[in-house]
């Protein structure tokens, strides 16, 4: 698999950019400045944006971590791609955002679910990165993302139990259940041979060929009950309800509430799924709703059920 030599533009994000030759060098640094950080992680390099000195600021224990969804018009844009900057600044708390390295490296794909390629095992390395940040910097993380970024947030959170929470909206829970042409294009750049993708049983053959080095499906929901908080927002009219939410949800561990209007699936006061008319189809949940949820969960440190009640009262 060839990596394109793609131009990078850091000026629109920050005045300062720092290169780190290993993630150990990054996490062991006594002071980490705000701006863009280019970090070598295993065999790949990824870009991290920080604001409000999240690793040196002791006022807030929980640091929002923003993952991006699909990048539209990717072939006309210059990486890196960070999401959540306006949300983080409006919240007034320290935060970080991560650009997807596979999307950064290839101008023909706008979504790669933060898996990395077969050779890089980015998912597992990123989980280790957060674990080590917790040990060295004594921080907990609030993983935030919608759609493809939601998949990444839901992947990382249960792999960091007790040190993480998650806010997601309209996420994919299985990469293979996204649009087939988009998935196959992504897989080619993730290192899957075209001969496999042309087979009738290409999904199972892809799983076998990768030897499970890439997690294409989220773990069952019971794994995420170990984290601190989960708020999962889902548009009722989104096709993701049938293809992603319901298969992942299953019939266990959740108490369903509300026959009409919003549907609420609660495991306990800290782990709740809300299916409501937030927006039409797969459109993002409105920014004010996401901002209010984050403010309640992080700034006010409310429980998830308190946050849900506030959100529904505002609708």
Q: What is the per-residue DSSP string for 106-151?
A: -TT-S--TT---TTT-HHHHHHHHHHHHHHHH--EEEEEEETHHHH
Average pLDDT over every residue of 181-195: 96
The answer to whether 23 touches 55, Cβ cutoff 8 Å, is no
**What pLDDT score was predicted for residue 258?**
55
Average pLDDT over every residue of 64-85: 94
In tens, the pLDDT along 284-304 reads 999 999 999 999 999 999 999
**What pLDDT score was predicted for residue 6?**
66
**What pLDDT score was predicted for residue 127?**
95
Average pLDDT over every residue of 96-111: 96
d(CA 177, CA 130): 28
Confidence of residue 1 (pLDDT cuts 50, 70, 90): very low
Q: What is the DSSP letter of 312?
A: H
Average pLDDT over every residue of 115-138: 93
Confidence of residue 204 (pLDDT cuts 50, 70, 90): very high
β-strands 44-51, 35-41 pairing: antiparallel
Alpha helices in the chain (DSSP H): 23-28, 85-91, 101-105, 122-137, 148-156, 180-189, 194-197, 202-209, 240, 246-249, 287-294, 304-314
Average pLDDT over every residue of 180-189: 96
State the Rg of the chain over Cα: 19
Is 70 exceeded by the pLDDT of residue 276?
Answer: yes
Total Cβ atoms within 10 A of residue 259: 6
In tens, the pLDDT along 232-267 reads 999 999 999 999 999 998 866 677 665 567 899 998
């Amino acid at each position: 698999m060839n990596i394109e030599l793609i131009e990078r533009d850091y000026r629109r994000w920050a005045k300062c950019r720092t290169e780190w030759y290993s993630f150990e060098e990054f996490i062991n640094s006594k002071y980490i400045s705000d701006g863009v950080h280019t970090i070598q992680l295993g065999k790949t390099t990824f870009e991290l944006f920080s604001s409000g000195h999240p690793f040196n600021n002791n006022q807030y224990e929980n640091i929002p971590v923003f993952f991006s969804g699909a990048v539209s018009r990717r072939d006309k844009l210059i990486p890196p791609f960070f999401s959540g900057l306006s949300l983080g600044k409006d919240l007034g708390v320290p935060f970080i955002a991560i650009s997807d390295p596979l999307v950064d490296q290839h101008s023909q794909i706008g979504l790669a679910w933060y898996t990395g390629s077969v050779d890089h095992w980015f998912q597992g390395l990123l989980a280790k990165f957060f674990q080590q940040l917790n040990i060295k910097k004594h921080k907990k993380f609030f993983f935030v993302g919608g759609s493809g970024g939601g998949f990444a947030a839901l992947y990382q959170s249960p792999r960091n139990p007790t040190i993480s929470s998650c806010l997601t909206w309209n996420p994919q829970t299985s990469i293979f259940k996204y649009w087939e042409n988009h998935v196959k294009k992504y897989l080619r750049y993730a290192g899957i041979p075209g001969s496999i993708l042309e087979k009738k049983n290409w999904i199972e053959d892809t799983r076998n060929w990768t030897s499970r080095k890439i997690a294409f499906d989220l773990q069952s929901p019971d794994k995420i009950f170990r984290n601190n908080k989960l708020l999962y927002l889902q548009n009722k009219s989104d096709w993701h309800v049938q293809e992603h939410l319901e298969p992942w949800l299953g019939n266990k561990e959740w108490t369903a509430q509300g026959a009409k209007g919003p549907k609420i699936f609660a495991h306990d006061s800290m782990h709740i799924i809300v299916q409501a008319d937030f927006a039409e189809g797969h459109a993002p949940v409105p920014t004010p709703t996401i901002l209010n949820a984050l403010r309640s969960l992080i700034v006010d440190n409310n429980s998830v059920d308190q946050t849900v009640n506030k959100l529904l009262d505002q609708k």
